[in-house]
Amino acid sequence: MSMTSGSLGADGFASAARGDVERAKRPISVLVVVFTHAGDFLLLDRVHPPHFWQSVTGSLRPGETPRSAALRELREETGLCGGGALMDLHSTRLFPIKPAWRARYRPGVCFNREHWFALPLPGRRLIRLAADEHSDHRWLRAEDAARLVGSWTNRDAIRLIASRCALC
């Protein structure tokens, strides 16, 4: 998920100017959990805030479907192409947007709707990080990944996938 407009605030996040609502982030996003058949889960370390580990995430652009956003974010953040292997988990979560991050959204927006996807892979792949968004990546077992992520929705998605995967 790349923000090309706005400025970096004190928290290091790109912020949308209040009068520039057409460029504000949409409060609809995707979470894409990438994992291998052997049960390794891919996590990315955000640049801002540092040491905030997560799966692939990003907001939908105007006119974009959740599936299209998931495929785009996957490609932008990791270099992976999901294609037909990308699974829609048919699950969403509504969560409150942290006050420090709300300036990136339209005034009064306090909640985000997150759509969950998964990308199963036969094995680990070479990951090409978007340097402006992520500084590192790790492949971890499900419980280690669930403990490291900074978001409860990401933790729940990893645990859901692991519970459905006999090898994880």
What's the CATH number where 25 sits?
Answer: 3.90.79.10
Residue 90 lies in a domain: yes
Percent helix, percent strand, percent coil in the chain, to nearest 5: 25, 35, 40
Residue 2 lies in a domain: no
> What is the residue-averaged pLDDT of the chain?
88
Residue 141 lies in a domain: yes
Q: Is 98 left (phi over 0), alpha (psi -120 to 50) or beta?
A: beta
Tokens representing 153 are 């929705």
Question: What mean pLDDT do residues 107-130 have?
Answer: 97
Tokens representing 89 are 């988990």
Q: How many domains are there within the chain?
A: 1
Residue 94 lies in a domain: yes
- For the chain, give the percent of residues with pLDDT over 70: 85
Closest CA to 155 of 165, 167, 145, 141: 145
Residue 1 lies in a domain: no
Q: Which domain holds residue 37?
A: 7-164
Residue 77 lies in a domain: yes
Interval 87-113: pLDDT, tens? 999 999 999 999 988 999 999 999 999
Question: What mean pLDDT do residues 145-152 have?
Answer: 97
